[in-house]
Chains A and B, each alone.
Chain A
Amino acid sequence: MATTSIEKEDAIHPGKPVVVSRYNLGARVNHWITAISLILLALSGLAFFHPSLFFLTGLFGGGQEARAFHPWIGVLLFFSFAGLFIRFWRANLPEKSDREWLAHANDAIAGNEEKLPEAGRYNPIQKFNFWVMSLLIIALIVTGIAIWDQYFFDWTTIPQKRVAVLLHSLAAVALICIWIVHVYAVIWARGTLRAMTRGSVTGGWAWRHHRRWLKELAEHHRFKKPATPAE
């Protein structure tokens, strides 16, 4: 099996408990800029999606302000996500073992991870979320520019804008659903959030959820001493 799942920043810090570095500072900052942009985009976008949510424009200073900020935040998200994409696309490439893992998807959802093939840095559901999110963000930036009338009105015809605005809203809904799954999974699999806050997980977490990743790290002697609790 190819060891595509190890990233440069990954390292085991022996100790009790074992700590494993998963995301360096750059990756975490990049992630949280993306996360905050996505939340702001969802709030301002939902305000335009349905009248019952129009009050959300108040968070941005009013309707005019929400309308003006939304596309710029979208540009920020696009580039920020592009950073995440460049960091993580290799680790998210599909592998042969993913097929078998998905055949046991029921066990994954039930939390019976011992019945699953050992996962690398990402499991197939995480990979699916990654690629779907990437495609949706491309769809959103393309359709978003088509309806960014302030600067790009002449780039598209009105019938094209109609299709763009419909696709933009549907893609946004799909992205919000993926986001809900993502956030829920982090909460469900306890001990995951610290990967994006402190940058590390415990050895037990890695053993339970991403055993092949942990084994590969050990195999390649990716050890760091002394163990520092912060990294």
Chain B
Amino acid sequence: MNSLKRLSGFLWILLGVAVVYLMARQAGTEIAAATKANKAVLDTKMFWYIIIPIFTPIMLGLCLFGWYAWKGEYDQIARDSEHLV
């Protein structure tokens, strides 16, 4: 189980990076298309201006989670909150 946890860490890092990249690419495509068609430009921009700044730091958190998993930090989950701090 621990090796599976460690291996999956790489997957979470990749997922975090991929989501940020896909969001940025999709935002670029949609804003360009809306500007070209002069249709719902403000709506499109507003949506992506809300989504990207919110989800980018969270995805960085997912990458950090993946990094910890990759390094084996989650091999032993603290069974008692006394062991946390």
Are A and B subunits of one complex?
A: no
Q: Contact residues of A with B, CB < 8 Å?
A: none
